[in-house]
């Protein structure tokens, strides 16, 4: 007699069906969502911890779908990386950020560097650098205002990453490694690939890490970054003691709920305007 628990029919439960339906809905509505401006760019501020000053922001995508409801990037980004739609969506975010900065700059308002996430999928797209160039040329901005964040997993092919990051920097973008320390960062990669900013993964701040060992590791990452002329920032900073800890190892820049959650453009503009006379 067959064990009913191993029947595929039994495994294919309602929860799985819901998952599949959700994936399918996400794919079905992606294009229309972009046309109808359901995707919105949020901004999370970055701070210099010592003087509590606002120094930049990260652009983070949000999708409030009429059909599906509110979706987190963790739900749709992997799907879009799979079907290629991420190429379009990342350029939408970049374009939004470029126009945001240009508009403020022309109005004589304060601007700060903004980082934009770039999926590793771009690194296998032959048109990537050319597309970046074409878009960037349409805007008139001071240099150093856009950082492109790539997670360290994007650098598995070091030679390809080295070539593309060099080209990206020649265009006038800054380059940033996201989630540094969470995966397979290699020192070889840091040596080969031109990087301006290193973003420490918030894993370094979890209680599960032995704090003396973590302190030791972080101190060395910070001094290495200093020696290589790489700026360093930690993400996911939630408490004052985490901020103290980071400053004590020489990392002075942070992003996290302690300083501000990702917020709509309007709110971020208000924050920028408030701090423009400092």
Instruction: List contacts with Ca ion (CB under 5 A).
Output: 117, 149, 178-179
Tokens 């400092």 found at: 278
Tokens of 244: 């103290």
Tell me the torsion sign for CA atoms 255, 259, 262, 267.
Answer: negative
Residue 90 binds ligand C2E, judged by CB under 6 A: yes
Residue 86 contacts ligand C2E per CB under 6 A:
yes
φ, ψ dihedrals at 44, nearest 5°: -110, 120
DSSP letter at 8 equals: H
Question: CB-wise, 54 or 86, nearer to ligand C2E?
Answer: 86
Element (H, E) at 39: strand 39-48
Contacts to ligand C2E from residues 164-183, by CB under 6 A: 178-179
Q: What is the DSSP letter of 143?
A: T
Closest CA to 234 of 217, 206, 253, 216: 253
Of 49, 54, 71, 77, which one interacts with ligand C2E (CB under 6 A)? 77
Q: Under rule CB under 6 A, which residues in 6-25 are in contact with ligand C2E?
A: none
Are the beta carbons of 147 and 197 closer than 8 angstroms?
yes
Which is closer to Ca ion, CB of 117 or CB of 242? 117
CB 1 → Ca ion: shortest distance, Å? 47
DSSP output for 146-177: EEEEEEGGGGSSHHHHHHHHHHHHHHT-EEEE
Task: Draw the binding track, 28-67, toward ligand C2E (x: CB under 6 A; -: no contact).
Answer: ----------------x---------------xx------
- Span near ligand C2E by CB under 6 A; candidates 21-29, 184-192, 229-237, 245-253: 229-237
**Residue 17: CB minimum distance to ligand C2E, A:** 25
Residues binding ligand C2E (CB under 6 A): 44, 60-61, 72-74, 77, 86, 90, 93, 117, 119, 178-179, 235-238, 256-257, 262
């Amino acid at each position: 007699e067959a064990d009913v628990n191993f029947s595929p029919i039994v495994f294919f439960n309602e929860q799985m069906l819901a998952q599949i339906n959700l994936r399918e809905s996400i794919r079905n509505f992606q294009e229309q969502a972009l046309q109808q401006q359901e995707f919105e760019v949020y901004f999370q501020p970055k701070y210099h911890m010592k003087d509590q000053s606002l120094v930049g922001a990260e652009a983070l995508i949000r999708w409030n779908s009429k059909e599906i409801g509110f979706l987190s990037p963790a739900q749709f980004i992997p799907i879009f990386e799979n079907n290629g739609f991420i190429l379009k969506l990342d350029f939408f975010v970049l374009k939004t950020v470029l126009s945001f900065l240009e508009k403020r700059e022309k109005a004589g308002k304060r601007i700060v560097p903004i980082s934009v996430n770039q999926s590793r999928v771009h690194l296998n797209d032959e048109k990537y650098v050319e597309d970046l160039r074409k878009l960037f040329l349409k805007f008139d901005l001071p240099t150093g205002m856009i950082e492109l964040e790539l997670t360290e997993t994007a650098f598995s092919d070091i030679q390809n990453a080295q070539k593309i990051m060099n080209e990206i920097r020649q265009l006038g973008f800054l380059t940033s490694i996201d989630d540094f320390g969470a995966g397979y960062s290699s020192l070889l990669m840091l040596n080969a690939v031109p990087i301006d900013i290193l973003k420490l993964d918030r894993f370094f701040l979890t209680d599960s890490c032995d704090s003396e060992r973590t302190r030791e590791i972080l101190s060395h990452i910070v001094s290495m970054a200093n020696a290589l002329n790489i700026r360093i920032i930690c993400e996911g900073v939630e408490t004052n003691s985490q901020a103290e800890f980071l400053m004590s190892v020489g990392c002075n820049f942070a992003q996290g709920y302690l300083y501000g959650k990702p917020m709509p453009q309007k709110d971020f503009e208000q924050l920028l305007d408030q701090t423009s006379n400092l």
